[in-house]
Chains A and B, each alone.
Chain A
Amino acid sequence: MALLTFDKKRHPRQTRISLIAVALLLIAFPFFASQFGNSWVRIMDMALLYIMLALGLNIVVGFAGLLDLGYIAFYAIGAYTAGLLASPQFADVLQSFVDTYPALGHFLVMLFGAQISAHGIHLSIWLIVPLSALIAGLFGALLGAPTLKLRGDYLAIVTLGFGEIIRIFVNNLNAPVNITNGPQGINLIDPVHIAGVSLGGEPGSGSIVKFLGLSMPSVNAYYFLFLALCIAVVFFSLRLQDSRLGRAWVAIREDEIAAKAMGINTRNVKLLAFAMGASFGGVAGAMFASFQGFVSPESFSLTESIAVLAMVVLGGIGHIPGVVLGGVILAALPEVLRHVVEPLQMSLFGRVWIDAEVLRQLLYGLAMVVIMLTRPAGLWPAARHEDRPEADHPHGDGPADVVKA
């Protein structure tokens, strides 16, 4: 990365310039892109959600070295948290209890009151975000606990199983009591409201959001919300990486026995990694549900887990800017191809030779193979010592300088 650098220690000035440039670009993007319709900003919205997911998985896989193939489960848990707590669904849940177990059902109706049993629960985003983080985090620790003694391939298989269990669970939890609405999914999830303004746009306004005198399409409003959450997740990741806890995670990745011998309680520290990673995924899931207004189990298949893992690995495992880049490329590339390929073929050949969907899969696979062949450590891996020989001579040569750096 010659143009942009984020190595604050070595190039503080260039880093500041790079950051400002990126910030301007990110803020300007939706205003520019929405000239060409909503789809480009929508693609970026989804890419931002995937970046959150990838950064969460990066804590588990990149930092702590625990290969998790069922990570999408926490995305699902976050999404269903929003689905149950910010939609009319909860009224159906109570009704289903009344139909199946009248005694329990009437008790629950009494407990929650008439308002909730008629219209469901509608929590605000300020509660949904922390709640989804908390619930997903709890599940992260819960699903992490049985895997503590496993490593490598075995861990991968077990987490893969857990991921599928959650999806199948959600798929079947419509009987005997209907909680998740099964394969039909939960509909009519509230759009995010901030300061009384709905980011989904007021009804009848054609999805135009008016905020502080500014009026923009709904996708743009979500873009800024997701961008803010993404920045928060990056910030948390950076802070964690460079802390006592982050070092303990990396130590476990590098050598678990040595980490134990150094006094690290690997059980607690690993559980914390699972919980932190899962909570990021939970927030992304809740945002996904509010953004789409609809969740169903098929959004949380194994393929999605693999896609998020691919973002982490292709971007540069354990390196936060790399993971962000991986997220953007792998989330946006297929969508961009979908929009570009057919018009391009039409203009070049006058007809569509290869279906966009086919070409998309083809190029996606090809991109992965090429990246892994040419850049095995990822597109943008962490700087290794070999790449920076000047680190040996830290402005002077005295150890005192090293401490400062």
Chain B
Amino acid sequence: MSTTLLKIADVSKRFGGLQALSGVSLTITQGQIYGLIGPNGAGKTTFFNVITGLYQPDTGSFELAGKPYSPSAPHAVAKAGIARTFQNIRLFGDMTVLENVMVGCHVRTKQTLLGAILRHKAARDEEAAIREKSQKLLDFVGIGKFASRTARHLSYGDQRRLEIARALATEPQLLALDEPAAGMNATEKLGLRELLVKIQAEGKTVLLIEHDVKLMMGLCDRLTVLDYGKPIAEGVPAEIQKNQAVIEAYLGASH
């Protein structure tokens, strides 16, 4: 098998009296689409926020591409190589579609205050490269023709795509998507699925949270199921589908 990209062990997080996560571990192999499913309130988004630095975990060890990383600040996580999208889309609404992706390039570029004002050759070249790369990414996710539109005026499905393009602009090793199919209709879901397969074909690794079990079963290489903050099952989709604990978590225990 190929190499391990992300190795997370024993993550716990408590909010006051609520144990949101307890002892969650997962290991993602390079090039996989890895799914994280579970009923509402299972702690999926909390887990996401912990590994991307938005929340500080109580316990846990984190390793990305063989190197330990500390999810202490979101911008440090992005620099380490994990890019994320949000469950409730968070675009830069008043900026153009292209500018949104250009912001994503921020972390891999280094033009400073002086470069911005003097606009010497290195700064100009970098700016041109950012522009070109951003347009390519927009074309890649299929919204290249909307580059000069204001982001907030994109359709819902296209806003999701823009969020993915913006995350890809940070050149992540792991692309973490929080419910990208939420609120999408059947056609849009199909398009999203194609896009994710395309991203995987580019050699990217994807971590996916989703409610739509059908979509996940067809798409993911491996899955972890969370319930009440605890992992209750882990394996390939076929195993998960037969797992008694998972069925009970979703449908309730049989009496």
Contact = CB atoms under 8 A, between A and B. Distances in A.
Contact of A261 (B74, B127, B144, B150): B74
Contacts of A247: 95, 99, 102-103, 106
Interface in B37-93: 52, 54, 73-75, 77-79, 83-84, 86, 90-93
Interface stretch (A29-37, A106-114, A395-403): A395-403
B75 A266 contact: yes
A37 to B, nearest CB: 39
A385 B103 CA distance: 19
B236 to A, nearest CB: 30
Interface stretch (A11-19, A186-194, A237-245): A237-245
A391 interface: yes
Contacts, number: 132
A258 interface: yes
A258 B86 contact: yes
A261 B116 contact: no
A106 to B, nearest CB: 42
B116 A250 contact: no
Contacts of A250: 92, 94-95, 99
A260 interface: yes
Nearest to B98: A402
Interface residues of B, number: 55
Contacts of B239: none
Contacts of A248: 103, 106
Given A244-B127, A263-B79, A255 B150 contact: no
A391 B149 contact: yes
Contact of A263 (B93, B106, B123, B148): B106
A264 B75 contact: yes
Contact of A397 (B107, B111, B145): B145
Interface stretch (B4-12, B131-139, B220-228): B131-139
Interface of B: 52, 54, 73-75, 77-79, 83-84, 86, 90-96, 98-99, 102-109, 111-113, 115-117, 119, 123, 126-127, 130-132, 135, 138-139, 144-145, 147-150, 153, 166-167, 169-170
9 contacts: A245-B116, A254-B94, A255-B90, A261-B74, A262-B83, A266-B75, A386-B153, A399-B145, A399-B147
Q: Name the 5 nearest CB pairs between A and B, nearest first.
A: A263-B107, A263-B78, A243-B116, A254-B92, A258-B90
